Amino acid sequence: MEQRVEKEGKNRNATEKGLKKRRRKRKIRRRIVDTHKVHLCSDVPEGVSPCITKYWYQRYNLFSRYDEGIEMDEEGWFSVTPEDIAIRHAEKSGNGLVIDCFSGVGGNAIQFAHLLKVAMLCFSVPMLLQWCCHVIAIDINARKVGYSLNNARIYGVEDYIDFIIGDFFLLAPLLKADVLFLSPPWGGPSYIAAEKFSLQMLKPKDGYSLFQVAQKTTPNIIMFLPRNVDVNQVEELSWLSSPPLEVEIEENYVKGKLKGITAYFGDIAYG
Ligand code: MGP
Ligand code: SAH
């Protein structure tokens, strides 16, 4: 009797050990698959430099139609607003004339224009008159404007955007718009090294000067900023206007990962 119990005990131990082994095996296999997915570099095409490899892996989050011929340079890769976030910016912008003042390779301008196109196709003539404006996309870099035009064609919205090669700070006094969208350079991927990203670190001018220039055109301003930005400073921007502007600050995630922070000022806050 004692022997049987001992035997059963041994068998149970053996079975448990077997199960554990199998479980461990399965776990390890799963881990390898993950590693494989993240680190396998063999399918990265030639010409994609090591510093943009991580962005290449996110290419369909940046442009869902990436495979149709999207073009970007290095700065474009690390600066373009992920498509879902750009859609959110467009939805919040209302239905007036939007100027994308630092348009890069077109991530945002395309989504502003897409929303406009959908509105034009769906609504009646009086609504059309209200929406008869284009999106304006400004970038100082002619090559970026070329990429942006190419990318807008892929999304079928090139006729809804006026592309301007120029310096936003020089053009600003001439601009009229309902909403200004600002996603200036943050100083490259090393922006994240700062414990708190201060508005003074924005390029080519600090965030306070940028905001002051922008609000001469309209109080309705959208700023796309680093996820480590000093949020108190962002709130302070609303006090540069008298009376202070409404401000709404939101965190923008893609697939559960925080990518940036958007501040909406003026009538579009909480809209
Ligand atoms: P990231 O932090 O460099 O990438 O940029 P990621 O993949 O989140 O890094 P990880 O290693 O932490 O996983 C995140 C997002 O910020 C990019 O997809 C861009 O939309 C935006 N972004 C990054 N930079 C450096 C800039 C910039 O200079 N200007 C603007 N406008 N946006 C930027
Ligand atoms: N939102 C864009 C990315 C913007 S990156 C997208 O989704 O693609 C910032 C851009 O600002 C760069 O393309 C850079 O060429 C441009 N830029 C820098 N200084 C500028 C200036 N003074 N006026 C206009 N554009 C400028």
Whose C-alpha lies nearest to ligand 1, atom 11? 54
List Cα–Cα distances, 265 to 80, 173, 268, 269, 271, in angstroms. 22, 20, 6, 5, 10
* pLDDT confidence of residue 195: 98
User: Mean of the per-residue pLDDT values for the chain?
Assistant: 86
| CA atoms of 209 and 182, how far apart (whole Å) | 12
* CB-CB contact of 238 with 244 (8 Å): yes
Which tens digits make up the pLDDT trace of 100-120?
999 999 999 999 999 988 887
Please state the separation of Cα 146 from the chain's center in Å: 20
* pLDDT confidence of residue 31: 32
Closest atom of ligand 2 to 104 CA is 13
The secondary structure of residue 245, as a DSSP letter, is P
Mean of pLDDT values over 123-149: 80
Residue 144 CA, ligand 2 centroid: distance in Å: 8
Q: Which residue has the tokens 């090393």?
A: 190
Closest atom of ligand 1 to 257 CA is 8
Taking only Cα atoms into account, the Rg of the chain, rounded to an integer number of angstroms, comes to 25
**Does the Cβ of 102 fall within 6 Å of ligand 2?**
yes
* pLDDT confidence of residue 139: 99
Q: Which residues pair with 229 in a beta bridge?
A: 197
**Does the Cβ of 192 fall within 6 Å of ligand 1?**
yes
| pLDDT surpasses 50 at 24 | no
Comparing 39-43, 156-160, 222-226, the range with the smallest average pLDDT is 39-43
Whose C-alpha lies nearest to ligand 1, atom 30? 79
Decide: residue 236, CB within 10 A, 0-12 exposed, 13-18 middle, 19+ buried: middle
pTM score of the predicted model:
0.86
**Does the Cβ of 183 fall within 6 Å of ligand 1?**
yes
- Band of residue 134 on the pLDDT scale cut at 50, 70, 90: confident
Comparing 44-53, 140-149, 155-164, 166-175, the range with the smallest average pLDDT is 44-53
**Other residues' Cβ atoms within 10 Å of the Cβ of residue 216:** 11
Q: What percent of the chain has pLDDT over 90?
A: 72
Alpha helices in 57-138 (DSSP H): 59-62, 74-79, 83-92, 107-122, 125-130
Name, in order, each residue with C-beta under 8 angstroms of 81's C-beta and a sequence gap of 6 or more.
Answer: 89, 107, 108, 183, 224, 260
Best residue among 53, 59, 78, 252 to mutate for probing ligand 1's pocket (most ligand atoms within 8 Å of CB) is 78
Which tens digits make up the pLDDT trace of 79-105?
999 999 999 999 999 878 999 999 999
Q: Which residue has the higher pLDDT, 25 or 247?
A: 247
